[in-house]
Amino acid sequence: MDRNLALNLARVTEAAALASAKFLGRGDKNAADQAAVDAMRRMFDTVNIDGVVVIGEGEIDEAPMLYIGEQIGIAGPDSLKIDIAVDPLDGTSSIAYGRPDAVSVVAIAPRGCMLHAPDTYMKKIAVGPKAAGVIDINAPIEDNIAQVAKALDKDVSEVTITMLDRPRHNDLVASIRKAGARIRMITDGDVIAAINTCFENTGVDMMVGIGGAPEGVITAAALKCMGGEFQGILHPVTEEQKRRCIEMGVDLNKVYKTDDLVKGDEIVFAATGVSHGELLQGVKYLENNVASTHTLVLRAETGTIRFIEATHKLDKKPEYAK
């Protein structure tokens, strides 16, 4: 895969971040999401790829842009055939209510390498590279905690687990407390929460709990690039969601491991901070109509982890990208 695509992916998430950051704290999550989707879609039109959206904003009839199956990029006869997974704004509520850790994310892999995940919930567990290989989503949480503590050479009381703050996690919380580990709750955004496990300075060792399945694929792409581990089990709630899973040919009992979600190592991933976060700074507005962005770019082939700090002269940008 052309390594320069990595910079183009950063451009795509930067554009979505710049467009949606203006809505911080303004109470309108749909407007923020729409701005991110529009900007991302327009920027993709400048990239030389033959892409198909595999993880996107929904079905063709419900999403005018970045719908599943949409052709993306300026495809020529020599352009790369790829699968694209996008979440132009993960954490729409975080933006609407001025909370941390909203991000814009994109992952790509060669055509046929990404799981077509239904828009249902997924039970998830994720760890960084030092604890890769020791987790098992079907084992009791206390066993996973013990394994991770051992792998990280920490006491159980020092292991920090992050999860979405939702009533559906009450039992999980009780078991973790009983085991004696620490919990860091997040209001939204389990993609960046899982990525945080790969960076020691975030203080987070493991991400667990139930979140979106499409985001599970994107998370797996990121963790694979960094040598972390992700496991997920689809968790449809309604009959309609179960029907959708069966229709899409996914196995409701299967543990989807990192490699099942994204095959091979020709993977490129980019995430730009929209609101302020532990790992990525949010978009900031500086003097003279300049804005700054902070982006994480990953490539699985080489394992390179790159942070890109950019300043953008907004007067010089096309309307859609500012």
Given the rule CB under 5 A, which residues bind Mg ion? 87, 90
Choice between 126 and 283, CB closer to ligand VTB: 126
Residues that bind ligand VTB (CB under 6 A): 90-91, 164, 166, 188-191, 211-212, 215
- Shortest Cβ 3–ligand VTB spacing (Å): 28
| Binding site partner of 19, from ligand VTB, Mg ion, none, Cβ cut-off 5-8 A by kind | none
Comparing CB distances to ligand VTB, the nearer of 73 and 228 is 228
Please say which residue, 132 or 218, places its beta carbon nearer to ligand VTB: 218
What 8-state DSSP symbol labels residue 114? B
Rounded to an integer, what is the distance from CA 16 to the centroid of its chain?
14
- Rounded to the nearest whole angstrom, what is the least distance from the CB of residue 35 to ligand VTB in the complex? 18
Which one of ligand VTB, Mg ion, none interacts with residue 190, CB within 5 to 8 A by kind? ligand VTB
Position with the least CB separation from Mg ion: 90
The option from ligand VTB, Mg ion, none interacting with 188 (CB < 5 to 8 A, set by class) reads: ligand VTB
Strand partners, 86: 106
CB 275, min distance to ligand VTB, A: 12
Angle at 150 between CA 148 and CA 155, to 5 degrees: 95
Q: Which sign does the torsion angle of CA 93, 17, 59, 81 carry?
A: negative
In the complex, the smallest distance separating the C-beta of residue 89 from Mg ion, rounded to whole angstroms, is: 6
| Min CB(177)–ligand VTB separation in Å | 21
Vertex 274: Cα angle to 273 and 276 (nearest 5): 75
Beta carbon nearer to Mg ion, 83 or 87:
87
Distance between CA 180 and CA 213 in Å, rounded?
29
Q: Which does 211 bind (CB under 5 to 8 A by kind): ligand VTB, Mg ion, none?
A: ligand VTB
166 touches, from ligand VTB, Mg ion, none (C-beta below 5 to 8 Å by class): ligand VTB
**Distance of closest approach, residue 290 Cβ to ligand VTB, in angstroms:** 30
The item of Mg ion, ligand VTB, none sharing an interface with residue 164, based on CB under 5 to 8 Å by kind, is ligand VTB
Residues linked to residue 4 through DSSP beta bridges, in sequence order? none
Nearer to Mg ion, 87 or 278 (CB): 87
The C-alpha atoms of residue 271 and residue 218 are separated, in whole angstroms, by: 10
Burial of 177 (0-12, 13-18, 19+ CB in 10 A): exposed
Q: Which is nearer to ligand VTB, 213 or 283 (CB)?
A: 213
Q: Which C-beta is closer to Mg ion: that of 37 or that of 137?
A: 37
The minimum distance between CB 252 and Mg ion, in angstroms, equals 22
Amino acid at 320: Y
CA dihedral 298, 302, 305, 306 (to 10 degrees): -80
d(CA 61, CA 225): 33
Of the candidates 101, 132, 134, 111, the one whose C-alpha atom is nearest the C-alpha of residue 49 is 111
Contact call for residues 127 and 206 (beta carbons, < 8 A): yes
